Structure 1
Amino acid sequence: MEWIPLVGAICGAVIALAGALAAEVQHNRAERRRHREAERVGYCLDFVVALDSAHSALRAVAQSDEDASRRLPSANRAVHEANVFAERERLLVAGTLEVVKAGEFAYRRLIGVRNVIRSGATPSSRDYHRAYHEFAEAIWQFRMAVRTDLDHARLEPVDLERRSWSERENCRGCLDLAGG
């Protein structure tokens, strides 16, 4: 009869240990999930900042007095020094399908801006504005893909008091080019 308390104590200890172990496993899973989400936010943010930095540097090249023969290396350097290629690689390797697709689309639109600047476009030219507004739209679509991936609500332009993500309709340069 002295077994019953001993067996009861052992069973109680096993149940308590199993409960503690299950709680620890659940905690570790939640911690890993938070860590993966923080990494996703990090590489997406790094990519969008690299795109924006590259665009700013490209705009500076387009505004410079540099002759056309010097624009090609300057425009290439602007994209390279903004770290776009490294951040794109991180995104391609670690991103979800929809984020990678949106990121690649934004990357190609940035390269479109680079290419028109390499060919001599200035910030007041039609070619620059066409490429810029396509880039602006694409970078916003990337942001919205990331928000969706993180289970955040998508924003609409009106949420930020805009008419569109491309901002074409409010662009002073586009209005001047159109004669309005």
Structure 2
Amino acid sequence: MEWIPVVGVVCGAVIALTSALMVEAQHNRAQRRQHREAERVRYCLEFALALDSAHSALREVAQDHDVSRDRLRPANRAVHRAGVFATRERLLVAGTVDLVKAGELAYDRLIAVRNAVRTGATLQSREYHQAYHAFTEAVWQLRMAARADLDQVVLEPADLDRRSWSEREGCRWCLEPASREPDPSPV
């Protein structure tokens, strides 16, 4: 009969230890999930900033009106120096399926801008604008995929007083008839 209290204490200790271990495991899982979410957000932001930086550098290359100049290297350098490739890799590895899809679309559209600039497109050319507006729309889609991933409300263009994410309908050059000469002022 003297063993019953000892067995009761041992069983109570085992139950308490098991409960503590389960709580700790749940806490660790929650911390890892929060860390992964924060990492995904950071990678997505880094990628979006790299896209923006690359596009800004490509705009500088496209401002040169001397189409006889070699633009291949400057356009390639613009994308490389912005860190697009490294940030893309991080997003590809750590992003959700929707983030990766949106990121790849934005990446492909940036490469289309780069290719247009490499072949001589200037800021006022139709080739640049076709690639630019598609890129702009893809970057907005990436932003909205990131918002959805963060359980934030996905915005519509009208929420920000826009008609679309591409900005085509407000672009004075895109609205001009193809037969007219483009306005030489930068976009």
TM-score if structure 2 supplies the norm length? Answer: 0.87
Is the 8 Å Cα contact of residues 65 and 122 (structure 2) preserved in structure 1? no
Partner of 2:185: none
Whether the 8 Å CA contact 1:68–1:119 is kept in 2: the answer is no
Checking the alignment, whether the CA contact within 8 Å between 2:54 and 2:84 is kept in structure 1 is yes
**Contact residue 68 and residue 118 of structure 1 kept, 8 A:** no
Gap change, CA 1:177 and 1:116, over 3 Å in 2: farther
Q: Tell me which residue corresponds to 2:37.
A: 37
Say if 2:158 is the partner of 1:158: yes
Q: Which residue of 1 aligns with 2:131?
A: 131
Identity between Structure 1 and Structure 2 (%): 69
Distance 1:50 1:68 in 2: 28
For structure 2, which runs of at least 5 residues remain unmatched after alignment?
181-187
Match of 1:50 in 2: 50
Distance 1:163 1:175 in 2: 15
Moved more, 29-38 or 64-73: 64-73
- Give 3-state SS (helix, strand or coil) of 1:93's partner: helix
Cross-structure match for 2:93: 93
1:138-149 matches, within 5 Å, as 138-149=138-149
The CA deviation at 1:107 is: 0.8
| AA matched with 2:44 | C
Between Structure 1 and Structure 2, which shows a larger proportion of helix residues? 1
Matches within 5 A, 1:46-125: 46-64=46-64, 67-125=67-125
CA distance in 1, matches of 2:177, 2:48: 29
- 1:88 positional shift: 1.6
TM-superposed CA distance for 1:172, in Å, is 3.3
The number of residue pairs the alignment matches comes to: 179
How well do the aligned residues superpose, as a CA RMSD in angstroms? 1.8
Residue 168 (structure 2) aligns with: 168
TM-aligned CA deviation for residue 167 of structure 1? 1.2
Structure 1 match to 2:183: none
Amino acid at match of 1:87: T
Structure 1 residue runs without a partner (length 5+): none
